[in-house]
Amino acid sequence: MKILVQKFGGTSVATPERREMVMQKIFKAREKGYKCVVVVSAMGRKGDTYATDTLINLVKAQGPYVSLRELDLLMSCGEIISSVVMASSLLNKGVKAVALTGAQAGIITNENFGNAEVLRVEPYRILEYLEEDYVPVVAGFQGVTEKGDITTLSRGGSDFTASILGEALGAEAIEIYTDVDGIMTADPRIVQDARIIDKINYSEVFQMAEQGAKVIHPRAVEVAMRANIPLIIKNTMSDHPGTIIGNYNELYASADSDRLITAIAHITDRVQFRIELGTENTKLENEIFDQLSRNHISIDLINVFPEKLIFTVDENKSQQVEQLLNKRSLKYDVYHNCGIVSVIGQRMRGVPGVMARVVKALTKENIKILQTADSHSTISCLINGDDIKKAVIALHNEFNLSER
C-alpha cells in the first residue's frame, strides 16, 4: 500500500475556493495510486472565526485564569472543525472520507499541556480506513494522554502531526502544503531576488527552522530525518514542484559542487547577557544553565570563558533571566535589540575561509559582530537588530544565492 501524508495549513482550508484546490491535490495523488492521509490546521489566521488565536481570546476575555488542560481542550477545536469541514467536502465530491481527532488517529502524548511530547502512535484505525479506501482527515496539532485528556503539540504542531503519522504509517512521502512555492534562499520580504531551493538536506532545513526561517516545524524535520521519509514543501494554490527535503548524499550526488551555502536565515528580538563568573566558583556556569533549564528558558548562542559567560535569549525571556541573576547577586551586562543572522550549508564542512567571507561581507557594510557560533553546517553572528536586513542582503550577495 503506497501511503502519502498531505498536510494543509490554515489558509489552505479557510474558504470553499481554497478547499477545492486542496481536494484537487488529493485527487491527483489518488490517481497516482496513493492512499492519502490528510492532516489539517485550524482555518485561517488570527482574527478569523475558528483560528486558534481567536479561540484563545474567547476564553481569556472571561478573565486571566484558565488552566492549561482546559486551554488545550479549547485550542484543539479549530483543527477538529477543519477536519470535519474537509471530510464533508470530500464526501460531497463522492470520495469516502472520515474526520479524526488526534486521539482517534492514535497519537498518544505525555501530560505536558500546551507543548506535549508524543509517546507513541497507534495508527491501526487509520490503516483500517485506508484498506477500505477512505481518506482519513486528521486534526493536526493534538493528541491525547493515557488518561484521555486532549493535549496540543505547540505552535506549528500540525507539521509535526504529519511527520509522526508518516513515520508510523511508513509513508512514501510527506507533503506540506502552504501558501508559498517552497523553501527560499532567504526571506523574500528582505531579499527581492531570493529563489526557491529545489532540493535541500534534512539537517540544512532543520538548521534554517532553528535559526528563524519559518518554513516548517523543526520537530517535523527531525522525525522525517529519523524515518528517512522525504518532506516536500508545496503551494496549495500552484502546481510548482516545491522543495524536496531529503537525504544529503542522494540529493547532492549530481548537484553543483561549488555552492557552499544553501540559505541565509535570521532571528530578531534577541537579548545578549554577559555574566561575570569570577574565579572562586568553578561550577557557577553549570548552576546558571541548570537554573535557566528549570525555568524553561531556551538559549540561542553560548560562549563560555574562564571568567565570563555569554549567551542570548528571546526578548520575552530577558526580564525573567535578569530576575534569576539578581537573586544570585551576579554581575552582568545586558544588551537589548539584537538579532542573529546565519549562513547555512552542509557543504561548508571542512572548507576553510567561510567565516572570513562572512566577516568580510558584514564588515564591508559596517555591521558590528557581537558574538558568533558555528557548527559543521551553520555560522551564526549576533548583531544589532537594526542591521538585520542589511546583513541578510549582504550575505545573500556574498555567496551568490540568487544564481541558479
Could you report the per-residue pLDDT of 60-98, keeping only the tens digit for each? 777 777 888 988 998 899 999 999 999 999 999 999 999
Is 8 marked as binding a ligand?
Answer: yes
7, 55, 121, 153 from 145: Cα distances, Å: 23, 22, 12, 12
Residues 168 and 299 in one domain: no
156 is in an annotated binding site: no
Has 262 been labeled as part of a binding site?
A: no
Whether residues 26 and 153 fall in one domain: yes
Q: Is 179 annotated as a binding residue?
A: yes
Listed residues 119, 148, 179: the one ending a domain? 179
Q: Are residues 133 and 41 in the same domain?
A: yes
Instruction: Determine the 3-state secondary structure of 152 from DSSP.
Output: strand
10 and 155 share a domain? Answer: yes
308-314: strand order across its sheet = 302-305, 308-314, 263-276, 332-344, 378-384, 371-374
Annotated ligand binding at 243? The verdict is no
> 45 with 142, same domain?
yes
Indicate whether 244 belongs to any domain.
no
Quote the domain boundaries for residue 388. Answer: 263-398
**Of the residues 156, 179, 202, which one is the last residue of a structural domain?**
179
Average pLDDT over residues 302-318: 92
In this structure, the answer to whether residues 168 and 297 fall within a common structural domain is: no
Question: Would you give the end-to-end CA distance of the chain in angstroms?
Answer: 37
- Region 303-320: what's the mean pLDDT? 92
Question: Whole-angstrom Cα distance, residue 345 to residue 380?
Answer: 12
**pTM of the predicted protein model:** 0.84
* End residue of a domain, out of 144, 161, 179: 179
21 in the same domain as 157? yes
Q: Is residue 246 part of a domain?
A: no
Residue 160 known to bind ligand: no
d(CA 273, CA 44): 38
Known binding residue 79? Answer is yes
- Domain with residue 387: its CATH number is 3.30.2130.10
Mean pLDDT of the chain: 90
How many domains does the chain divide into?
A: 2
What value does the mean pLDDT take over residues 364-377? Answer: 94
**Per-residue pLDDT for 23 more than 90?**
yes
Whether residue 13 is found in the same domain as residue 152: yes
Phi and psi at residue 388, to the nearest 5°: -60, -55
9 is in an annotated binding site: yes
Residue 50: inside a domain:
yes
- Nearest CA among 126, 218, 222, 230 for reference residue 168: 126
pLDDT of residue 316: 93
- Cβ atoms of 311 and 373 within 8 Å: the answer is no
Confirm or deny that 398 is annotated as ligand binding. Answer: no
Q: Between vectors from CA 160 to CA 139 and to CA 82, what angle results, nearest 5°?
A: 20
Mark whether 271 and 159 lie in a shared domain. Answer: no
Is 256 annotated as ligand-binding?
A: no
Residues 404, 195 contacting (CB under 8 angstroms)? yes
Q: Residue 174's domain is classified under what CATH number? A: 3.40.1160.10
Q: Are residues 34 and 147 in the same domain?
A: yes
230 SS3 class: coil
Indicate whether 240 pLDDT > 80. yes
Asked whether residue 133 is marked as a ligand-binding residue, the answer is no
